[in-house]
Amino acid sequence: MSANKKLVTSLNDTTRSRQSNQHSNARIRDPGRGIDSGTFSHSPTRERNIMRIIVFGGGMQGRVIASNLAARDEKPEVVIADINSIDGLNGNVSYQKVNVLDQSAVALAVKGFDAAVLAVPSSIARDALQNLLLTGIAIVDVSFTPDPPTDLNEIALSTGSCCVVDCGIAPGLSHMLVGKAYAQLGGLDRVRILVGGMAQDPPPVFHHAIYFNPSDLLSEYVRPARARVAGRDIQPNPLEATIETFDDFELGRLDAFLSDGLRSLLKSYPNVPDMIERTLRSAGHMNTMQNLAEMGLFDEDAIDTTAKPLAKRYPAEKYPDCLLMVVEAQRGTTITRWRLIDRWTDGQSAMSRTTGYTTAAMAMVLARKQFTTPGVHAPEKVGEVEGIADIIIADLAERGVKTDEQVIIPTNGIDRSVVQTKEMSVF
């Protein structure tokens, strides 16, 4: 028997015993909704000690998530676990030194916690997630990996871990909304996601700023953009594909380029014939990026060198950002459209807020045992569960990140439509 299999086996009894003790009332069937509340429940956190959530990763995103969690009415105890020391923490947030690549240290660190958040660099994300899955704890993962780590599902099933991956704003909330529409409409014919963070007052020439790791940012422009058009899977170079314009009633005309953000959606919904994601940028930005690429500055041996002066010349703190996301899901002639916009607030970028707040909201769902199904779940599959996406939207709205939902139902098939618009509110 392999070492991993032995570890999984040894953890199974402990995990099942802990889950049985902690969730003795979690699987009571709700006759009013006809749903096994082991998957979804409106009940608040269980009655016992204070809620405890551990955040692995003390970088900018991990801190945003931790502060969001600690400021809630439930006043959960929040611990940031990182190999490096962290200063400046306050309130209900404390620090614990943990090497997330040390499985025994991780298993010890998560004892007594209701949920874990993984927000670590992409280079260690997969190994870190595997270590967490082996403990059986509930996990929300916002770390980037080249492909969603759904292949780790068997480990989660064996330990009882309920894990939601790719859980930021996009992918993340975007995919939950698609999953919600897919479940409500009984399938989809078309999915379009438009999303991007932009400078509120963009600088000339570059028309953008560096809001996260500059090399990771530039990779968005050269990584093949997987999409599906008329039932055919494609993956063009983003700078060689058609760059469209998108007109927003608040932000005006924007560049919209094909990007690689669909990820798990392509596998989750193989029968949806048209699915694309386009990243939004300030008008003129894509012309600059095409020129840089033409000069060879995005070649594999040059891209990191290109990234450094851009980060120095266009720092995020100099150009406060805004983020716009539009998600459209269509079945037949019925279109459901969501629009979310957010802006730099109190020193937090819109991209950090929308990403971190979504992750924190899902961490609360897991800590409250509102979603407990074991496995590694793509966000759209969580969105299919009745009520979960609405909880996340309402949670963000309570913290100032509001989403408008619009359902368009054509009448007479041609010119007129019935439009139902609502702003998601907190329940």
CATH 3.30.360.10 residue spans of the chain: 174-347+402-423
Tell me which H or E stretch contains 5.
helix 3-22
Residue 371 has what pLDDT? 98
Architecture field, domain 174-347+402-423: 2-Layer Sandwich (3.30)
Residue 285 has what pLDDT? 98
Residue 112 has what pLDDT? 96
Location of structure tokens 């009984």: 186
Tokens of 101: 């690549």
Q: In whole angstroms, how far apart are CA 379 and each of 83, 170, 395?
A: 28, 10, 16
Q: Are 335 and 408 in contact (CB under 8 A)?
A: yes
Tokens of 410: 């054509």
Residue 7 has what pLDDT? 43
Location of structure tokens 């969580």: 382
Q: Which of the residues in the chain have pLDDT under 50?
A: 1-47, 414-427
Q: Write the CB contacts of 303 (distance below 8 Å, at least 6 apart in sequence).
A: 215, 218, 219, 222, 297
Residue 44 has what pLDDT? 42
Helices 173-185 and 388-398: crossing angle, nearest 10°? 140
Residue 49 has what pLDDT? 74
| CA–CA separation, 154 and 209 (whole Å) | 41
Residue 48 has what pLDDT? 55
Phi-psi region of 109 (alpha: psi -120 to 50; beta: other; left: phi over 0): alpha
Residue 411 has what pLDDT? 63
Q: Are 407 and 292 in contact (CB under 8 A)?
A: no
Provide the residue type at 51 as one letter. M
DSSP helix/strand/coil, 176: helix
| CA–CA separation, 82 and 164 (whole Å) | 21
DSSP state of 121: -
Residue 101 has what pLDDT? 98
Tokens of 241: 């594909």
| CA–CA separation, 392 and 364 (whole Å) | 9
Q: Are 153 and 8 in contact (CB under 8 A)?
A: no
State which fold the 3-164 domain adopts.
Answer: Rossmann fold (3.40.50)
Q: Write the CB contacts of 183 (distance below 8 Å, at least 6 apart in sequence).
A: 383, 384, 385, 386
Residue 212 has what pLDDT? 84
Residue 18 has what pLDDT? 41
| CA–CA separation, 150 and 166 (whole Å) | 10
CATH 3.40.50.720 residue spans of the chain: 3-164
